[in-house]
Amino acid sequence: MKLNDIRDNSGARKNRIRVGRGIGSGKGKTAGRGQKGQKSRSGVAIKGFEGGQMPLHMRLPKRGFNNPFGKDYAEVNIGMIQKLIDSKKLDGKKVIDHEALQAAGVARGGKDGVRLLGKGEISAKVSFKVAGASKGAVAAVEKAGGSVEVIDLGQPEHEKKAARREANKAASK
């Protein structure tokens, strides 16, 4: 084989069809859009339209609720932390916080911090600095001789506004 023998596979490169370029091209006159009607005109996007019948996405029942004020925590179990300490991916002598858990690859996401959960066993004496912890997790860590410090990430904005409103009402009376 030589450099001048190299070719694409047949059918790998295909020219686009140029529509509306004369009757002999096979896609002339109406350019494959048929005769008249809404879809023959430009600027039409009828996604989900079913000819006047109620579209499927509107017929299906809607369930659930998406809380706009909900917290997004990265949830980490104490059993997983013990595994990481045993495999030397986490240093048990330092304070374990969100950054340390992210570096170890356990706390994915969690823009509001880490929440410690009590699944599994922990035997290492470790101190945590997290945004939240379950009662079981705190009890297990303290039983092993460690400590859990829950940091306050501040009030949400809507709670601050409500507190200001109440303070203004009290001041105006």
State pLDDT tens for residues 87-122: 888 887 888 888 888 888 888 888 888 899 989 888
Residue 147 phi, psi (nearest 5): -140, 155
What does the alpha-carbon distance between residue 77 and residue 120 come to, in Å, rounded to a whole number?
7
How do residues 51-66 score in pLDDT, each as one tens digit? 889 999 999 999 999 9
Give me the pLDDT at residue 96, please. Answer: 87
133 strand-pairing partners:
116
Given a cut of 90, is residue 13 above it in pLDDT?
yes
Q: With the C-alpha atoms ordered 65, 69, 74, 75, is the resulting torsion angle positive or negative?
A: negative
Give the distance, in angstroms, between the CA of residue 156 and the centroid of all CA atoms in the same chain: 21
Give me the pLDDT at residue 154, please. Answer: 66
For residue 33, the tally of other CB atoms under 10 A from its CB is 16
Give me the pLDDT at residue 125, please. Answer: 87
* pTM: predicted TM-score of the whole model, two decimal places: 0.54
Given a cut of 80, is residue 153 above it in pLDDT?
no
Residue 14 — very low, low, confident or very high, per pLDDT cuts 50/70/90? very high
Mean pLDDT for the chain overall: 88
Domains of the chain: 74-150 (3.100.10.10)
Give me the pLDDT at residue 155, please. Answer: 66
Residue 135 DSSP SS3: helix
Look-up of token digits 């997790």: 137
Look-up of token digits 């945004």: 131
Residue 9 — very low, low, confident or very high, per pLDDT cuts 50/70/90? very high
What does the alpha-carbon distance between residue 135 and residue 133 come to, in Å, rounded to a whole number?
7
Given a cut of 80, is residue 28 above it in pLDDT?
yes
